[in-house]
Structure 1
Amino acid sequence: MSTETKKPTVLFVCVHNAGRSQMAAAYLTSLSGGEIEVRSAGSQPADQVNPAAVAAMAEVGIDLSAEIPKVLTTEAVQESDVVITMGCGDTCPFFPGKRYEDWVLEDPAGQGVEAVRPIRDEIKARVQDLIASLTKQ
Structure 2
Amino acid sequence: MTYALLFASPFVFGLTALIAVVIAYVRKPEAEPVVASHYRHQIFAFWIAFFLSVLAAAGLMVAVGFLVYENLFSLLSATPADPWEAVAMDVSPRLPAASLVGLIAFATCYGMATLWLIVNVVVGILRLNAGRGFGRAAS
Q: TM-score band (shorter)? A: 0.3 to 0.5
TM-score, normalization: structure 1?
Answer: 0.32
- Structure richer in strand, relative to its length: 1
TM-score, normalization: structure 2?
Answer: 0.32
